[in-house]
Amino acid sequence: MSTRYDFDVVVVGSGMSGGWVAKEMCERGFKVAVLDRGSPLEHGDGYVTEHSAPWEMPNRGLVSKEEAAHDYEHVKKCYAFSEYTKHNFINDRENPFEMKDGKRFDWIRSARVGGKSVLWHRQSYRMSEMDFEANKKDGHGCDWPIRYDDIAPWYDYVEKFAGISGSIENLPQLPDGVFQKPFEMNTVEKHAKEQVEEKFPGRKLIMGRCAHLTEPTDEQIELGRGPCQSRNQCQRGCSWGGYFSSLSATLPAADRTGNMTLIPNVQVQQVLYDDTSGKASGVYMVDRETMQHVRITARVVFVCASTLATTHILMNSRSAQYPNGIGNVGTALGHYLMDHITGAGARAEAEGFEDLYYQGRRPTGIYVPRFKNVTEPDTRFLRGYGFQGGAGRENWWSETSRKGIGEDFKRSIQRPGRWQFGLGGFGEMLPAYENHLSLSGTKTDKWGMPLLEISCAYGDNELKMQADMEKTAVEMLKAAGFKNVQGFREESFPGIAIHEMGTARMGHDPKDSYLNKFNQCHEIPNLFVTDGAAMASTACQNPSLTFMALSARAAHFAADQMKAGAL
């Protein structure tokens, strides 16, 4: 590597947010360096387990308890972690962090270019006007500097390019979007929809909206993407490009302009500050393989490394002017960490559908949009939650602990099992100053970066909400006529929802926010943050679509400012 690079734009991170910034800036004609700590991952050829059958895997798809405990203390808890995908997850032992104040946090991280966009569950929902107004109305968190109307055109923009399947529902708390045709519910889900909506008029059960192509556009086909094959092996990677990832969509779009330089295997440690101009001048990074230290200069810097990694870099970007992190003059940087609360819901058996075999292998389930404190007021807690879930038939996995041998046993487990239906909640977490990040004063990683310290826990509001998730899910499954309904509520810790947000939030005032309405640092005009760190609240919807829209919006603003000579 050279000791110096000069680009118009440096983008730190190549995932959900960074990929969008790269695409927009390259298409506007700027020379862009995309830096990522992950190792290279080639779309298609890099998905080495994509077509592997269980009997072709050394451990039939499972990771041994010993290996998981040794190398994957946190990421092993992720739904997508398996022998098929472990090579795309970070090694926790080699990349440590600290949990402060006795508070557990499960930080799920990618180890490859493309970030978690390769591993995500692809649920794609807009935030509503109600969500952008919530902080101001109930006094928790700073007021968002934007409203739904500001971001709605950018939701349209990213949905058209990414490809989102879904149904039009006309719900104010869950705005409709630019959708390709939805996947179809199976027969048990259709039954649940009919019964729930009849008995609870303010509740809706809809098909999950997901970033999967069902009717590819010419633009998507031109990029080499095709319709989802419903193989249900998405986290291994999809060479069809049936689901949206930065590897299948935004990075190829950026690359075909000839303006992108992608540099993997580098740990960005600091955004550099120039005292004379009062602006960011580039980044300082370490090659993770050679240990070479490199500075790259740029007119504009976007930090999109994922919520915690982004704020880690910003806090470590210290100078005489900003000893507590670049542009940090208030109380927001490193504070107000949030994640959705999960771990509660209900499961049941559905009788009377035994003659209907097919459950399908579609890539999404059903969704119950938020109704608490929307159509159904509840004074026990603020804000609300939604449910995700679906119906399916037990398969041979459910028989792995049953005793048996021989032909009769094998024949018995080939028969489809009972129909089951499940709901799991995702609830909003209120912004709280005490949920924060800090830098270790004594420990560094192998590349010399101070370890990140995380102190975060759910509060009373979240725990009350979680209890109501269980109660309400049981109520709904019983109303649907299902049998053996069993609620569940597990001890839940932040991080495992993998929706971490906050710590460099948007707002009006530099004293209690880090970014303005265009994701631009209040103090440093050529520094932008567009990933989850920018969020001032979480709503209860999966946030990735909002990250995409904010990234595209901020990139266009920055590009216009650059062309006008303001940056």
pLDDT digits (tens, 9 = 90+) for 237-270: 999 999 999 999 999 999 999 999 999 999 999 9
Shared domain for 383 and 445, answered yes or no, is: no
140 secondary structure, DSSP code = S
Shared domain for 239 and 136, answered yes or no, is: yes
Q: Write b or e for each residue in 386-409: b if 16 or more Cβ atoms lie within 10 A of its Cβ, otherwise e.
A: bbbbbbbbeeeeebeeeeeeeeee
Shared domain for 325 and 381, answered yes or no, is: no
Domain boundary (466, 492, 518) is at 492
Shared domain for 152 and 245, answered yes or no, is: yes
Distance CA 411, CA 302 (A): 57
The pLDDT value recorded for residue 461 is: 98
Domain that holds residue 401: 186-207+342-427+458-492
Shared domain for 468 and 352, answered yes or no, is: yes
Shared domain for 197 and 227, answered yes or no, is: no
Shared domain for 321 and 281, answered yes or no, is: yes
Distance CA 549, CA 554 (A): 9
Shared domain for 421 and 434, answered yes or no, is: no
pLDDT digits (tens, 9 = 90+) for 427-445: 999 999 999 999 999 999 9
Number of domains in the chain: 2
Bridging pattern class, strands 260-263 and 32-35: parallel
pLDDT digits (tens, 9 = 90+) for 164-177: 999 999 999 999 99
Distance CA 228, CA 238 (A): 9
* Angle ∠(443,449,452) on CA atoms, nearest 5: 65
Shared domain for 315 and 447, answered yes or no, is: yes
Other beta carbons within 10 angstroms of residue 357's beta carbon come to: 10
pLDDT tier, 357 (very low <50, low <70, confident <90, very high otherwise) = confident
Shared domain for 218 and 192, answered yes or no, is: no
Q: Is residue 440 part of a domain?
A: yes
Q: Is residue 544 part of a domain?
A: yes
Q: Is residue 176 part of a domain?
A: no
Q: Is residue 34 part of a domain?
A: yes
Residues 6+ apart with CB under 8 A from 19: 114, 117, 245, 246, 249, 250, 251, 254
Q: How far apart are the first and last CA of the chain?
A: 28
Q: Which token pair is 75?
A: 């990421």
Shared domain for 388 and 534, answered yes or no, is: no
Shared domain for 308 and 410, answered yes or no, is: no
Phi and psi for 249 in degrees, rounded to 5?
A: -135, -70
pLDDT digits (tens, 9 = 90+) for 506-535: 999 999 999 999 999 999 999 999 999 999
Q: Is residue 173 part of a domain?
A: no
Cross-strand pairs, 372: 376
